[in-house]
């Protein structure tokens, strides 16, 4: 194999592909990146068996077809080379690959392409979605997914495509984030899948970096695929039943408190600096105001009040400081609405519409 590619494109494309390379070391060859230069296809790809990425090299000039598994360090090496074309040469069955350009020349140990496991099917053609709508759904919910591997279903993001548009939801059992958006050309049937949160986060990152205005999303029974800007991401689908989030969100709340989003977020950020893992934020509601407070034996205590159109009996409720702040950050617009029932029932954060809902379980306050 012999090809030449501009340094900047090669470096940037290697960086994208290597994000799917395995870091666990259980299958050593998966820590590397596969380069294929075949008739009509010049592509970098990598997988950790859960997420796969296929990244085209559009400006590469191929002198001789072939394939080779590049060591992961090639990404940093190419980035450090002088501007200009970079050549990659590999003779079949040899254990080294030559990388040269800008006066530099390197001979690196490599694996053979036939040793690299087959990548999964890329999911086929799916539904085209405006990139901005896919991105806002993914970014708003992915942080709410659990990291507890003992409950695999909760480590994923529930994705539904149907006549009512695109919906994504994630929960770690302490909070639930749901985001919906309408589509101009929705599918006639409904398709659902639970995708690993890492795959959704990586897809969002690709979409954010792409100049392409559309995303192709395919949901299969065992595999799902996202295509954007020529890059193809494939991920396994998590088996299991995602919690029915519609039943988890109360239909009515006793209190609907509307707060200035920027002011509320600023207060949460300041007071939250003092909050420790075991010291929740205490929100005390009384006529016309809410006081945000926290106390810790290790750090100290702090409190700050802001105006709130609250009426009724005084109410105190505790929330995890980070979860509450992230929930407010995810709300769009100038106003945030906090629906409350009691100190032991979850609170619901929304904005000016029901497109984004963030349900947060309270923390029992001492005393």
134 and 241, same domain (yes or no) = yes
206 and 134, same domain (yes or no) = yes
Of 193, 192, 202, residue with least CA distance to 142:
202
Spatial separation of the C-alpha atoms in residues 299 and 11, rounded to whole Å: 46
- DSSP structure class, residue 363: B
Whether 327 shows a pLDDT value over 80: the answer reads yes
- pLDDT bucket at 123, cuts 50 / 70 / 90: low
Flag whether 41 is in a domain. yes
For residues 161 and 181, the answer to whether their CB atoms sit within 8 Å is: no
The mean pLDDT value of the chain amounts to 93
Q: Which of 91, 115, 139 marks a domain boundary?
A: 115
Q: Which residues contact 177 (CB under 8 A, 6 or more apart)?
A: 140, 141, 143, 144, 169, 170, 171, 327, 330, 356, 357, 358, 359
Average of pLDDT values for 72-93? 94
Q: What confidence score (pLDDT) does residue 124 get?
A: 62
What are φ and ψ of residue 154, in 5° steps?
-80, -10
Average of pLDDT values for 196-202? 97
138 and 75, same domain (yes or no) = no
Q: Which of 211, 228, 245 marks a domain boundary?
A: 245
Average of pLDDT values for 104-133? 89
- pLDDT bucket at 296, cuts 50 / 70 / 90: confident
Q: According to the 3-state scheme, what is the secondary structure of 267-282?
A: HHHHHHCCCCCCCCEE
Flag whether 343 is in a domain. yes
Per-residue DSSP letters for 91-158? Answer: -TT-SEEEEEETTEEEEEE-B-GGGSPPPPP-----EEEEHHHHHHHHHHHGGGS---TTSGGGGEEE
Locate 327 and state its tokens: 């929930």
- pTM equals 0.91
262 and 352, same domain (yes or no) = yes
Residue 145 belongs to a domain with what CATH number? 3.10.150.10
Flag whether 122 is in a domain. no
Flag whether 74 is in a domain. yes
* Per-residue pLDDT tens digits for 1-18: 999 999 999 999 999 999
Spatial separation of the C-alpha atoms in residues 144 and 349, rounded to whole Å: 14
Q: Which of 222, 245, 268 marks a domain boundary?
A: 245
**In whole angstroms, what separates CA 235 from the centre of its chain?**
13
34 and 144, same domain (yes or no) = no
275 and 335, same domain (yes or no) = yes
268 and 167, same domain (yes or no) = no
Spatial separation of the C-alpha atoms in residues 270 and 292, rounded to whole Å: 10
| Tokens 């997914």 belong to residue | 145
Domain residues for the domain of 42 are 2-115
* Number of Cβ within a 10 Å radius of residue 91: 14
Looking at 122-136, 256-270, 278-292, 295-309, which range is the least confident one?
122-136
269 and 208, same domain (yes or no) = no
160 and 184, same domain (yes or no) = yes
Spatial separation of the C-alpha atoms in residues 135 and 133, rounded to whole Å: 5
* Per-residue pLDDT tens digits for 23-67: 887 889 999 999 999 888 899 999 999 999 999 999 999 999 999
Of 70, 49, 19, 69, residue with least CA distance to 234:
49
For residues 70 and 33, the answer to whether their CB atoms sit within 8 Å is: yes
314 and 332, same domain (yes or no) = yes
291 and 356, same domain (yes or no) = yes
Q: What confidence score (pLDDT) does residue 180 get?
A: 95
Whether 352 shows a pLDDT value over 80: the answer reads no
**Number of domains into which the chain is organized:** 3
Flag whether 30 is in a domain. yes
| H/E segment holding residue 329 | helix 321-329
228 and 289, same domain (yes or no) = no
Taking 3-state DSSP, the helix, strand and coil percentages for the chain, each rounded to the nearest 5, stand at 20, 40, 35
Whether 71 shows a pLDDT value over 80: the answer reads yes
* Per-residue pLDDT tens digits for 136-173: 999 999 999 999 999 999 999 999 999 999 999 999 99
- pLDDT bucket at 330, cuts 50 / 70 / 90: very high
Flag whether 367 is in a domain. no
Q: What confidence score (pLDDT) does residue 120 get?
A: 84
Locate 214 and state its tokens: 């559309």
In the chain, the percentage of residues whose pLDDT exceeds 70 is 98
13: three-class secondary structure by DSSP: helix
Task: Report the residue count for the chain.
Answer: 367
Whether 367 shows a pLDDT value over 70: the answer reads no
In the chain, the percentage of residues whose pLDDT exceeds 90 is 83
Spatial separation of the C-alpha atoms in residues 136 and 132, rounded to whole Å: 6
Q: Which residues contact 219 (CB under 8 A, 6 or more apart)?
A: 123, 126, 159, 161, 191, 192, 193, 237
Flag whether 365 is in a domain. no
Flag whether 121 is in a domain. no
Q: What confidence score (pLDDT) does residue 287 get?
A: 95
């Amino acid at each position: 194999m012999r090809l030449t590619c501009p340094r900047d494109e090669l470096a940037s494309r290697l960086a994208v592909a290597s994000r799917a390379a395995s870091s666990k070391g259980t299958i050593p060859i998966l820590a590397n990146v596969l380069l294929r230069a075949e008739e009509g296809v010049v592509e970098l790809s990598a997988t950790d068996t859960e997420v796969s990425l296929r990244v085209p090299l559009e400006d590469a000039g191929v002198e001789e077809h072939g394939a080779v598994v590049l060591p992961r360090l090639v990404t940093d090496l190419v980035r450090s080379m002088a501007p200009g074309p970079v050549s990659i040469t590999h003779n079949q069955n040899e254990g080294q690959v030559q990388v040269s350009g800008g006066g530099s020349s390197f001979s690196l140990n490599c694996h053979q392409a036939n040793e690299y496991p087959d990548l999964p099917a890329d999911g086929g053609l799916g539904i085209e979605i405006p990139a901005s709508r896919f991105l806002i759904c993914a970014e708003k919910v992915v942080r709410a997914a659990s990291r507890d591997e003992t409950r695999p279903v909760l480590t994923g993001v529930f994705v539904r495509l149907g006549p009512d548009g695109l919906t994504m939801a994630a929960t770690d059992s302490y909070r639930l984030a749901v985001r919906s958006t309408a589509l101009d050309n929705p599918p006639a049937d409904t398709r659902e899948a639970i995708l690993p949160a890492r795959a959704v986060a990586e897809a969002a990152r690709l979409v954010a970096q792409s100049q392409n205005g559309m995303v192709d999303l395919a949901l299969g029974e065992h595999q799902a695929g996202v295509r954007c800007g020529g890059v193809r991401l494939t991920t396994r689908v998590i088996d299991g039943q995602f919690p029915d989030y519609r039943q988890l969100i109360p239909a009515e709340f006793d209190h609907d408190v509307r707060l200035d989003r920027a002011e509320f977020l600023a207060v949460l950020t300041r007071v939250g600096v003092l909050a420790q893992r075991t010291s929740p934020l205490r929100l005390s509601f009384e006529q016309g105001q809410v006081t945000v407070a926290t106390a810790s034996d290790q750090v100290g205590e702090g409190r700050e009040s802001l105006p709130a159109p609250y009426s009724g009996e005084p109410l105190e409720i505790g929330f995890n400081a980070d979860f509450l702040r992230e929930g407010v950050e995810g709300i769009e617009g100038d106003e945030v609405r906090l629906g409350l029932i009691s100190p032991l029932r979850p609170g619901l954060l929304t904005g000016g519409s029901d497109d984004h809902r963030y349900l947060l379980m309270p923390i029992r306050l001492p005393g």
